[in-house]
Structure 1
């Protein structure tokens, strides 16, 4: 019987079962988050929560997730693939069960924290495993399947949640996820193998504490800015703490011989460039995810389910495109995909910067679907192009850094674009008031709606500028060869693959005789 706890060389292990098990885990983690967002209004009524308390269920998940992701580089070097994934999925399962049976807000909050502790490990670990399993010329296809999980879960989440909460209790949402998680844990126990190399670094408690306050402060500050405003103490105090502690954290990591999170990954120019593009694109991408539901529900009066259905085709198209994009990346590289994808993103984002109170539902569905085609050509290819330049010893740090900055970009983009919308709405409202300063209640409602639409348009225009910046930067993306210390490893994998093929051919010849 094979020892599933021992390290196995990537060239000697079946890759399909490992990727399937880990992608399934990432899928349910993302699905869980999108399911809950739609259900929050129902949960407020059912559990007697305030709107702020309900929002904290999302905020705490994001915070724990964001705090844990930078630590995953250390965890991936300390614990084996199998051990880490089974622990993460078990935590996620326990948290899901707690949420499903909770009958009070504190218990529900605890469940969300436990869920987030497991979910934060999954995506960096999955990307690290892909880098360890596949040679350079096949990573795009593998990353494409990660993109499939990342896109498909948000695609079905809002619609599924809308159907469930209209028919059943919101608790059913957690009990839909739980059986999938349990099945994945069982599959992981039997199929998952240890394919990442361990260096067993020492635990640096100071770095963990500094990382928690640095990333936690920044994430909390930015996530609160959209709702509280930049002048609120709940925004500038956490941001101030986060910035100051981040300086100490980065300084400490650069001094340590074995840092918890290696900031020297930015010495590799293509990794740095693609990370900047990923951050810019993520900030632009969040515009549609936040502003379109506001426009549809608050201005046009559509239900959450109708809002979710408008976004569904685009997310499904994007999910279907992801594996295709991955294969194209292996053939033609990231630059052509990024330029075409960002060209589409610029054009379609600009379309949303011209909304009116009569913009057609199906026109928006088409424009959003086309926009998601563009985004599907950008995210995973540019991230893979950057990670491909890193030496094998920095895979865990590169994946942790890329995912951390993507999480930060989502929070910053959300806060910034919502702030633009809010401030511009106030400005347009003041500009459109009658000269007398007096208006009827009906006139005020009409003026407010029109001012909000103009504020949303202004926010989309800013998102268009983000996309244009990403488009310009994409001209500088190049194919990168593996660094010197990884050439031998890639040659070994290629030679083993050739040897395995020759051996198989010999067996076939012998059998035919």
Structure 2
């Protein structure tokens, strides 16, 4: 039976995408409330970043088991489980009176999003005709880009006029709507199988990611050679080695390390991760910069992020059209050049950024990000055989979340280190920490640009059309 993009399929994509939409909406909405949360819960900058870092880290540990979950349970059951975990987290967040309870609620939201996140892209890859794949992948990215656009404004207005808890109250209502539409429209993607759950491989991945993140974030308060930093980083690397050893010979591995031997896949994946690190780092820094350095309000911080996020959404859809007609190379390279130009200017002007400069450079960055990000995922996945797409999708989604957590932690750590300098006022130390972050991000995008020139195909993605 020929594949068609029907209204019911679009409803299914939107319903599945709502979990990732709400996850990102809450993430970007709470980012603009960080100064408020720091004051209300009496925490520091490096501690408050865990409100988002923890969610992304939990998602990164859940996504790797998505392929096995999809074989043992129906697609609709998986979707409803994701909604249930997400709703439980929202309820805890709404009533949390302590910072640790807020983190618990956010972690449960991460479980729900981690269960549901791969669904949208798996539905697109499985049900959408090949000649519409680039466009629909762009639409999928645009769903999350819309959350990026609305989140800061939503969070700023809600916090200024009500309280930050209303962010989660409103999200719970949207999650209920998603549960209703998804229960009707979510299709079954594959035949169910009795597969043996690979606990060892999953634990090795999960423990590795957690230890690496703990080690990195500990740099804000501990020297590099301390047990908290070196011990966690070393433990994370050992965990990755264990995963590599037990997975290499398993031809039905949870995530096959053999996929990384495909350089066209792994190098585009690297570019994808670097873009996510940069984006989440900027998303963390700009609201704090506007409020702490430029003395703006919470709602102003949200509105300043709005034009860039809109540009991201528009360019993501445009990039999908270009990819379908001309291939991935053009949108990826143009996007990276635009993002790099923005970051260079941010690094030069970082100590004295006006709100107008932030709007313009944020818009330039996000325009480039929208052009390149979904195109990198589409191009990277089409470097794999069709039967490898589910695992490739899981790898992209896992490392997307871990990279996002790493980007947030990077910005939070550098700001915290800079703010430890008590000889300068907080506005100065915040600006200095932001500039350090911009300089590091310039280096990451330069590396990404070099890798893209070398490994993004020069021709139209024939593998997409013929597979």
TM-score greater than 0.5 by the shorter chain? yes
Which stretch shifts more, 137-146 or 303-312? 303-312
User: 1:55 and 1:271, CA in 2 relative to 1: closer, same or farther beyond 3 A?
Assistant: closer
User: 1:378 and 1:224, CA in 2 relative to 1: closer, same or farther beyond 3 A?
Assistant: farther
Give the CA deviation at 1:342: 1.0
Larger-Rg structure: 1
In the TM superposition, what are the counterparts of 1:47-58 in structure 2 within 5 Å? 50-51=43-44, 55-58=49-52
When the two structures are aligned, how many residues end up with a matched partner?
462
User: 1:417 and 1:100, CA in 2 relative to 1: closer, same or farther beyond 3 A?
Assistant: closer
User: 1:346 and 1:425, CA in 2 relative to 1: closer, same or farther beyond 3 A?
Assistant: farther
Give the CA deviation at 1:350: 0.8
Give the CA deviation at 1:256: 2.1
Partner secondary structure for residue 471 of structure 1: helix
Equivalent position of 1:460 in the other structure: 438
Partner secondary structure for residue 376 of structure 2: helix
User: 1:423 and 1:178, CA in 2 relative to 1: closer, same or farther beyond 3 A?
Assistant: closer
In the TM superposition, what are the counterparts of 1:195-214 in structure 2 within 5 Å? 195-214=189-208
**How many Å separate the matches in 2 of 1:298 and 1:101?**
27
Compute the TM-score of the two structures, normalised by the length of structure 1.
0.81
Of 293, 304, 311, 1:299 maps to 293
Of 327, 332, 340, 2:326 maps to 332
Contact 1:64 1:120 in 2 (8 A): yes
Confirm or deny that 1:409 pairs with 2:409: no
Equivalent position of 2:383 in the other structure: 389
Contact 1:226 1:419 in 2 (8 A): yes
Contact 2:308 2:363 in 1 (8 A): yes
Q: Say what the alpha-carbon RMSD is for the aligned residues.
A: 3.0
Q: Deviations over 1:444-478 (max 9, x none)?
A: 547x8557645543432332222222222222311
Compute the TM-score of the two structures, normalised by the length of structure 2.
0.88
Give the CA deviation at 1:269: 3.2
Gaps of 5+ in 1: 1-7, 430-440, 491-513
Confirm or deny that 1:183 pairs with 2:173: no
Give the CA deviation at 1:148: 1.2
Give the CA deviation at 1:394: 1.8
Of 77, 82, 87, 2:81 maps to 87
Which stretch shifts more, 121-130 or 281-290? 281-290
Contact 1:389 1:481 in 2 (8 A): no
In the TM superposition, what are the counterparts of 1:124-143 in structure 2 within 5 Å? 124-143=118-137
Which stretch shifts more, 69-78 or 178-187? 69-78
**How many Å separate the matches in 2 of 1:211 and 1:369?**
35
Equivalent position of 1:375 in the other structure: 369
Give the CA deviation at 1:181: 0.5
Q: Deviations over 1:319-365 (max 9, x none)?
A: 22222221221111110011111111111111111216554322331
Partner secondary structure for residue 295 of structure 2: coil
User: 1:148 and 1:99, CA in 2 relative to 1: closer, same or farther beyond 3 A?
Assistant: same
Equivalent position of 1:475 in the other structure: 453
Of 246, 251, 256, 1:252 maps to 246
Equivalent position of 1:74 in the other structure: 68
**How many Å separate the matches in 1 of 2:213 and 2:63?**
12
Partner secondary structure for residue 33 of structure 2: helix
In the TM superposition, what are the counterparts of 1:207-356 in structure 2 within 5 Å? 207-226=201-220, 230-355=224-349
User: 1:144 and 1:162, CA in 2 relative to 1: closer, same or farther beyond 3 A?
Assistant: same
**How many Å separate the matches in 2 of 1:378 and 1:114?**
31
Give the CA deviation at 1:109: 4.0
Contact 1:130 1:139 in 2 (8 A): yes
Give the CA deviation at 1:424: 8.1
User: 1:217 and 1:377, CA in 2 relative to 1: closer, same or farther beyond 3 A?
Assistant: same
**How many Å separate the matches in 2 of 1:259 and 1:481?**
28
Contact 2:265 2:380 in 1 (8 A): yes
Equivalent position of 1:496 in the other structure: none
User: 1:450 and 1:251, CA in 2 relative to 1: closer, same or farther beyond 3 A?
Assistant: same
Partner secondary structure for residue 383 of structure 2: coil
Give the CA deviation at 1:76: 2.4
Q: Deviations over 1:401-421 (max 9, x none)?
A: 112222233344445566667
Confirm or deny that 1:164 pairs with 2:142: no
**How many Å separate the matches in 2 of 1:136 and 1:265?**
22
Confirm or deny that 1:366 pairs with 2:360: yes
User: 1:108 and 1:385, CA in 2 relative to 1: closer, same or farther beyond 3 A?
Assistant: same
In the TM superposition, what are the counterparts of 1:24-39 in structure 2 within 5 Å? 24-39=18-33
Which stretch shifts more, 213-222 or 239-248? 213-222
**How many Å separate the matches in 1 of 2:63 and 2:436?**
33
Equivalent position of 1:146 in the other structure: 140
Partner secondary structure for residue 330 of structure 1: helix
Contact 1:67 1:212 in 2 (8 A): yes
Which stretch shifts more, 325-334 or 59-68? 59-68
Confirm or deny that 1:112 pairs with 2:130: no
Gaps of 5+ in 2: none
